[in-house]
């Protein structure tokens, strides 16, 4: 499978196209059959008011997106104030009147008028009318109750039942006659071990209930259960393979044993591509257990959008033959397409693990369907709402009993009813079971899949598409473009083109890659002696001054080329540099990789910026005069970098100063001089003269000697606020010294605000990553979590549970989430603070006895004001805020004087606007983590006590390193302005 995992799309598809291609007579029969199915599907879509509603409010309308957002968040909001704000936010700005009377369904039209009235009630622009005055007394509770009822109704449509017993009862209704179900107990990935325990018990109860309801002695296919492995373990990750795979195997074995005893089917659901091989390992272990010999109900789902789909089917067939048992295989098109694309782009991977065109996925699906139908030991199940796909499978499988179709509950009605009840085909309904609050993530995912512009369900509702358009052969369409990648989805390396190439990442979700990287880091454990400190700072500055005189005369294109070359060398020496980051700076392996990638990105970004923005600029002026603005180096810069980003920030400062024509004396933090020395060596290899870039390792005395020297033309510093202030003061002490620019980036008391519309699972994941990643040793790390009081206790409990899953250990161990802090002084300071707050600690983690391991710690505060200092380690403080006080809460954070990063988790767009308007921070992150700023995407830097700006990795950074010089030449002084004198009057001869 490895060879196709990230192979070019066209290479993977070439054999699949031939496998799926139809003969002309086949195509004719399939199209004829598909036309009949299309008519039935359309009729089914017309009969249900829900289908009509979804067609009217599709995802390509702002109103459709608003309703989807409302459905996703409303039922988890416990307080009336926030619920009203959410309703106003999603309904208040929609153009609902444009949908009035447009649907074929009277119920949909009635619902639309309800939305029109609702907008009138909540819309901000109607404050003066009588309807708005009425709402002040009775309207808001009425609208809130109506929306709540509508959301619960939507839950009933898309969820088979709130409990397994309710779902089994509903399957007996007339509309489900002839169909079987695969019950999916709602719940996305577990975040805590108690979550995983609850999901396990939920699956076990469902197996027992379905088994008890099974018709004794029946030869018919019975209901089954679908299981998500990610719901059974909170750390279902490749880096945790040794821990989670054995535990998940035990849990799946217990569920399989119960299902076999109950004589029902159990299917392992498909998940994100990075989990595929772990899933196969677990499935294989269970399938090969002798106790399950003769039980043919243990199956799996496979996603056709993955490039490894066909290989996975081959793997399943081989497993079935080896164990001499039938394996049910559900073929689906895929559920995580958009997130997989983003993940690959963020990680800088060479190729995507999936197909980027819908027709490419359809082609793979058909080729794999043919493989499954021909496999002797596979029992095929085809999940589809596509009439053409269904018709093709029916053409290839003349025996209706040799396979089954599957569809999602609440979608695709009309396609299979006649096939099941009149023609003997089998169809299983994938039926989610759970409370309406649990529906939210599932509902959004399903509607996004089926509402996407390329989906068959979406296209079916498009009146501009003919039957011929809908039934175009996807294999031929795929062949027409040669199976190539979608032109609007660039490869990860081309994400920032044409300006620059993205830094290449490593697929640490591939266990082979992770093992190779880990072995290389362990082998490079001897990092040698640190570089010697300079004995004579004066001589260092003199040498740099001479280097500046030569380096500054090079054309900007040449300087940029050498800085770009440094980026290439950093990438070539990635393994060596990652080892240094791990062993010298205590970086975990993913953090070490991110460190090197950021350094590479800085080089490429600043080189590209210099080429574009440092060219001489001709300015306007009167005739007979030229005015040219030039951006040139100022002299010798001192760049002082921190230990927490010993390569990325070090390289970013140096590259910016050099590419603008300055010479640089670079002083790394005393804790991490080796990785800085390695970067300087590579810079010299890249063509940076040794007298234009000099290394000055050492402590505060070296730094003070450099910044205090009047020959230093500028200082770039990243570190503590106190040190930045001391540097700023020293630059002003000598009255005879020129005014020297200081670029300072310091720390912050970074807060994340969470309201009751936020998804708790997402908040917890982002808070843990932001607070405890890199052992909390990022200037952007989350220090203060402020949760709306109405939901605080539940969220804190989930946060405590997520912390309990963290692994603290040696940074070279790929299973370690949190490594040691940088040095003894940091350790002592943080541990002493923990002791003073011992009675307020809500949660902490076990750590190794030996080493500088500060336990990840959660501390409760009475208010946001209780946190007055930045604690630079894995310590997170939590407090609450009251509903309706968002603006005031932002003001309280601003009052601390820091302004680096801030986070917000909310589903209310207006909340984001309020925070954006009032927050005084350099970087605001909404509904995501607060760390990991990307060069060129999220320029980084703060204000107030958090820095001076300009922002590193942004378009305004380089000019700060430059002297702006203008040359004006009066051309009339040399005998007059010949150009002006030679002008002729338009249209007139001599």
Crossing angle between the packed helical segments 511-523 and 574-585, to the nearest 10 degrees: 70
Strands 875-881 and 857-860: parallel
Percentage helix, strand, coil, to 5, in the chain? Answer: 50, 15, 35
793's tokens: 């206790």
- Active-site residue, 638 included: no
- List, in order, residues 6 or more apart from 587 with CB less than 8 Å away: 581, 595, 774, 811, 819
d(CA 880, CA 308): 47
Tokens 């953090």, located at residue: 591
764's tokens: 């917890």
Considering 364, 478, 639, 779, which one is annotated as catalytic?
779
Tokens 């210099």, located at residue: 610
d(CA 78, CA 74): 9
781's tokens: 């790390």
- List, in order, residues 6 or more apart from 372 with CB less than 8 Å away: 313, 329, 331, 378, 380, 403
d(CA 378, CA 253): 21
- With the CA atoms of 253, 255, 256 and 262 taken in that order, what torsion angle do they form, in degrees rounded to the nearest 10? 150
> Residues 205, 161: contact at Cβ < 8 Å?
no
Taking the CA atoms of 776, 865, 786 and 901 in sequence, report the sign of the dihedral they define: negative
- List, in order, residues 6 or more apart from 86 with CB less than 8 Å away: 70, 73, 74, 77, 757, 907, 908
Residue 428 host element (H or E): strand 427-433
Cβ neighbours, 10 Å, residue 229:
24
> Residues 425, 391: contact at Cβ < 8 Å?
no
953's tokens: 């990795």
Residue 274: name the closest of 592, 595, 506 by CA.
506
Considering 188, 571, 745, 761, which one is annotated as catalytic?
745
φ, ψ of residue 272 in degrees (nearest 5): -60, 155
Crossing angle between the packed helical segments 80-91 and 106-122, to the nearest 10 degrees: 110
Strands 636-640 and 663-667: parallel
Residue 431: name the closest of 421, 441, 439, 419 by CA.
439
- Active-site residue, 317 included: no
Residue 854: name the closest of 878, 879, 839, 837 by CA.
837
Q: Which residues are catalytic?
A: 745, 779
């Amino acid at each position: 499978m490895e060879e196709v995992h990230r192979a070019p799309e066209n290479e993977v598809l070439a054999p699949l196209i031939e496998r799926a291609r139809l003969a002309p007579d086949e195509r004719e029969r399939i199209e004829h059959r598909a036309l009949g199915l299309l008519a039935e599907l359309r009729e089914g879509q017309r009969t249900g008011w829900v289908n009509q509603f979804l067609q009217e409010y599709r995802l390509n309308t702002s109103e459709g997106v608003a309703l989807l957002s409302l459905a996703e968040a409303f039922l988890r909001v416990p307080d009336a104030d926030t619920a009203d704000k959410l309703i106003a936010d999603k309904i208040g700005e929609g153009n609902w009147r444009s949908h009035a009377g447009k649907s074929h369904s009277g119920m949909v039209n009635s619902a639309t008028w309800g939305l029109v009235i609702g907008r009138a009630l909540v819309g901000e622009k109607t404050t003066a009318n009588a309807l708005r005055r009425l709402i002040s007394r009775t309207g808001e509770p009425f609208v809130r109750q109506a929306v709540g009822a509508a959301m619960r109704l939507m839950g009933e449509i898309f969820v088979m039942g709130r409990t397994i017993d309710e779902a089994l009862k509903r399957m007996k209704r007339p509309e489900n006659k002839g169909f079987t179900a695969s019950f999916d107990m709602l719940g996305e990935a577990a975040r805590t071990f108690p979550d995983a325990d609850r999901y396990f018990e939920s699956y076990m109860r469902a197996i027992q209930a379905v088994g008890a309801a099974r018709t004794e002695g029946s030869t018919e296919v019975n209901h089954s259960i679908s299981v998500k492995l990610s719901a059974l373990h909170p750390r279902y990750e490749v880096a945790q393979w040794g821990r989670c795979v054995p535990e998940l195997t035990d849990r799946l074995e217990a569920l399989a044993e119960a299902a076999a005893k109950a004589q029902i089917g159990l299917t392992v659901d498909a998940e994100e591509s990075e989990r595929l091989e772990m899933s196969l390992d677990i499935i294989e272990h269970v399938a090969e257990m002798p106790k399950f010999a003769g039980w043919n109900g243990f199956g799996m789902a496979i996603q056709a959008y993955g490039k490894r789909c066909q290989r996975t089917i081959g793997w399943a067939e081989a497993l079935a033959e080896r164990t001499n048992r039938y394996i049910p295989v559900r073929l689906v098109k895929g559920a995580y397409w958009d997130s997989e694309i983003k993940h690959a782009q963020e990680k800088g991977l060479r190729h995507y693990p999936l197909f980027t065109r819908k027709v490419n996925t359809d082609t793979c699906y058909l080729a794999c369907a043919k493989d499954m139908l021909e496999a002797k030991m596979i029992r095929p199940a085809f999940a589809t709402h596509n009439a053409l796909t269904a018709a093709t499978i029916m053409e290839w499988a003349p025996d209706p009993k040799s396979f089954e179709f599957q569809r999602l509950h609440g979608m695709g009605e009309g396609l299979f009813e006649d096939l099941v009840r009149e023609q003997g085909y089998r169809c299983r309904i994938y039926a989610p079971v759970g409370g309406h609050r649990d529906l939210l993530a599932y509902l959004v995912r399903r509607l996004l899949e089926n509402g996407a512009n390329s989906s068959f369900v979406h296209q079916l509702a498009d009146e501009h598409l003919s039957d011929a358009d809908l039934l175009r052969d996807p294999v031929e369409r795929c062949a027409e473009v040669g199976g190539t990648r979608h032109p609007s989805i660039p490869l990860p390396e081309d994400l920032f083109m044409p300006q620059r190439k993205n830094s290449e990442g490593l697929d640490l979700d591939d266990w082979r890659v992770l093992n190779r990287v880990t072995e290389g880091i362990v082998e490079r454990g001897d990092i040698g002696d640190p570089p010697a400190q300079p004995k004579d700072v004066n001589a260092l500055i003199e040498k740099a001054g001479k280097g500046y005189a030569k380096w500054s005369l090079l054309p900007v294109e040449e300087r940029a080329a050498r800085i770009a070359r440094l980026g290439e060398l950093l990438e070539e020496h990635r393994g060596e540099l990652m080892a240094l980051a791990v062993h010298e700076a205590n970086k975990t392996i993913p953090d070490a990789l991110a460190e090197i990638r950021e350094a590479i990105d800085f080089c490429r970004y600043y080189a590209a910026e210099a080429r574009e923005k440092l060219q001489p600029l001709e300015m306007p002026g009167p005739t007979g005069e030229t005015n040219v603005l030039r951006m040139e180096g100022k002299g010798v810069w001192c760049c002082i970098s921190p230990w927490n980003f010993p390569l990325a920030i070090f390289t970013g400062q140096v590259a910016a100063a050099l590419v603008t024509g300055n010479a640089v004396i670079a002083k790394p933090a005393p804790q991490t001089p080796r990785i800085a020395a390695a970067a300087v060596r590579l810079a010299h290899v890249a063509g940076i003269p040794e007298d234009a870039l000099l290394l000055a390792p050492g402590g505060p005395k070296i730094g003070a000697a450099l910044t205090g020297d009047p020959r230093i033309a500028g200082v770039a510093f990243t570190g503590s606020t106190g040190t930045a202030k001391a540097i700023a003061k020293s630059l002003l002490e000598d009255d005879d010294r020129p005014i020297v620019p200081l670029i300072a980036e310091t720390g912050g008391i970074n807060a994340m605000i969470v309201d009751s519309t936020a998804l708790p699972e997402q908040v917890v994941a982002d808070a843990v990553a932001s607070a405890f990643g890199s052992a909390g040793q990022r200037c952007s790390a989350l220090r203060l979590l402020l949760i709306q009081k109405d939901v605080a206790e539940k969220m804190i409990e989930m946060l405590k549970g997520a912390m309990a899953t963290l692994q603290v250990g040696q940074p070279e161990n790929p299973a370690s989430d949190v490594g040691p802090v940088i040095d003894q002084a940091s350790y002592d300071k943080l541990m002493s603070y923990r002791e003073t707050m011992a009675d307020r600690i809500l949660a902490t983690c076990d750590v190794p006895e030996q080493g500088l391991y500060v336990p990840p710690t959660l501390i409760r505060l009475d208010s946001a004001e209780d946190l007055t200092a930045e604690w630079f380690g894995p310590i997170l403080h939590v407090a609450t805020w009251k509903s309706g006080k968002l603006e005031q809460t932002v003001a309280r954070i601003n009052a601390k004087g820091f302004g680096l990063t801030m986070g917000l988790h909310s589903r209310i767009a207006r909340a984001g606007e309020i925070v954006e308007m009032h927050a005084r921070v350099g970087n605001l992150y909404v509904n995501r983590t607060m760390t990991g700023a990307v060069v060129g995407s999220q320029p980084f830097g703060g204000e107030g006590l958090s820095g001076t700006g300009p922002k590193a990795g942004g378009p305004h950074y380089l000019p700060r390193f430059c002297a702006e010089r203008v040359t004006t030449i009066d051309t009339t002084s040399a005998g007059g302005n010949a150009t002006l004198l030679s002008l002729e009057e338009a249209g007139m001869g001599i």
